[in-house]
Chain A
Amino acid sequence: MFNTMFRRASLLAAAACLGAAVPALAHHSIALYDTDHLTTLKGKVTRIEWTSPHVFVYFDAKEADGGQAEWSMELDPPVLLRRYGWSKDTVVVGDEISCTGAPAKSGAKAMRGAIVELPDGTQLRVWSRV
């Protein structure tokens, strides 16, 4: 799954670099993510934005070529995550996590998260649709 993802991401990332129209500030849209091809990436958490309308977790993902790059993962907002059992300290900077979600169709290093897995194997819901 990783290899497929990265081949695809590489091709599309090149296309994305050519430039894109800049919309006004906006928030979530599922249409921007490929929900038919979920992918899983592992990495160390670098930043967390515990905010509405969505929580964002940034992590340095280990890539297929041995390098790493910062990815962003979009999650449900705090009001929903708390009902799933999260608190703002459930995942903190430096944690190694595994993120399963829908990658950006554009090839940007971003995903709409569905499940976060902690090092001990605990899986956490991060999307109201799962």
Chain B
Amino acid sequence: MEGRRFKLSRFITKSLQAFVPAIFATAASHAQAPPPAGFPGKAPAGPPAEIARFEAAPAVIKPGESATLHWEARNAYSLTIEPALGAVATRGNRTLAPAATTTYTLTVTGSGGTKTATATVTVAGTQPVDTAAAASADRPVPRMPDGKPDLSGVYLGGRDIRLAAPAVPKAGADGFRVVVREEDLGQGAQCLPSGVPGATLAPYPLQIVAKPDLVVILYEAFNIFRIVPIGRDHSEDLDATWLGNSVAHWDGDTLVVDVVGFNDKTLVAGFRHTEQLHVVERYRRTTYDTIAYEATVEDPNVFAAPVKYAGNLALHPEWEIGEYVCAENAKDYAELLPAQK
């Protein structure tokens, strides 16, 4: 059993021996994000991100030889290794052949702050690299062959996407407000998908696959997808669907996605809506690592003014979209429901 066990404890021991100063000499500058709107209780303080292992083997090489960095973290929202690697997965290794002595810094960010550890590959007979200068230069926003921004990548919106203009019901529409009762299993409880922009608010990544004439958005949560043609109009005869019908056009460097044709089964900012729901999303890749995302939501039967969401989609090149088959282990929650009176 020991071989199958989580190796954190052994790595921690080894790491403590090697990296105690680096692990604990940490600036806790990353405040925990408050719970997202609609969270019905207090979000507990999470376990802090920790570095379980970061080392170079061998630590000393000759010019032309290579060394391997090994790392492992837990509870982290993100990890980076600089210089050279940028964003990396929770655990892994990478073989490098630095031309000169290089000190690599692993930075992990999670609940409670940011922690760092360093590992140095000494290249015999060379002067240390100025790692500050060697850190990954800001990479430009990638472009498609037609010059438009390339939105491709795996991103996480989740808790970073916030309500920018809250939902205000129009007169007489307060009945659309969702009252959370104990017996309400909530959206998704029947393994039915979130809508738009709900799918982007989930704590699961999405992948954008960009082509010159269309964009495909693959959502990990519920394994749902949207195909968004660029430069086309909505069909006139649309069925009402969970994710609606999306078409896009470019407004300068911003991809503007217009979505109609929704059913009335999803939720927006704590409200049900009608099939007149209309969503306009804006995607602008402001940096290599970031897409600024906005969603404006209107329903003339429900809202007195547009509901707006805004935030950043953070690039996670180290992630892959995984399988999420909701029906795999859907539970009968009868025993969790309050007793009938």
Contact = CB atoms under 8 A, between A and B. Distances in A.
B44 A32 contact: no
B110 interface: yes
A47 B116 CA distance: 36
B248 interface: no
Interface string B28-39: 000000010001
Contacts of A29: 184-186, 189, 333
Contacts of B190: 24-27
A126 to B, nearest CB: 9
Contact of A27 (B12, B89, B182, B191): B191
B336 A108 contact: yes
Contact of B189 (A20, A27, A114): A27
A94 to B, nearest CB: 7
Contact of B339 (A19, A52, A85, A110): A19
B319 to A, nearest CB: 7
Given A30-B186, A79-B220, A125 B339 contact: no
Contacts, number: 203
A118 interface: yes
B237 to A, nearest CB: 32
Contacts of B220: 79
Contact of A130 (B47, B326, B329, B331): B47
B328 interface: yes
A130 B90 contact: no
Interface in A5-37: 15-36
Given A53-B191, A85-B52, A102-B41, A128 B203 contact: yes
Contact of B47 (A17, A31, A123): A123
A27 B340 CA distance: 20
A43 interface: no
Contact of B332 (A26, A92, A127): A26
Contacts of A114: 44, 46
B323 A52 contact: yes
B110 to A, nearest CB: 7
A84 interface: yes
A118 B191 contact: no
Interface stretch (B72-80, B122-130, B145-153): B72-80
Interface in B185-200: 185-186, 188-191
Contacts of A36: 41-42
B47 A83 contact: no
Q: Is the interface of B mostly helix, strand, loop or mixed?
A: loop
Contacts of A105: 182, 336, 338
A83 B75 CA distance: 8
A79 B90 contact: no
Residue of B1, B44, B180, B203 with most chain A CB atoms under a 10 A cut-off: B44
A65 interface: no
A108 B41 CA distance: 19
Contact of B75 (A21, A91, A124): A124
Interface in A94-118: 94, 100, 102, 104-106, 108, 110, 114-115, 118
Contacts of A59: none
Contacts of B191: 25-27, 53
A31 B74 contact: no
Interface in B288-329: 319, 322-329
A26 B185 contact: yes
Nearest to B13: A120
29 contacts: A20-B337, A27-B190, A30-B41, A31-B180, A31-B185, A33-B41, A34-B41, A35-B40, A36-B41, A53-B329, A77-B324, A80-B203, A82-B90, A85-B8, A89-B4, A89-B5, A105-B338, A106-B182, A106-B336, A108-B335, A115-B47, A122-B9, A122-B12, A123-B47, A124-B74, A125-B46, A125-B47, A129-B35, A130-B47
Given A16-B338, A35-B40, A85-B74, 12 more contacts: A21-B337, A23-B337, A26-B330, A31-B180, A32-B185, A36-B42, A56-B329, A80-B204, A84-B90, A87-B6, A92-B5, A130-B111
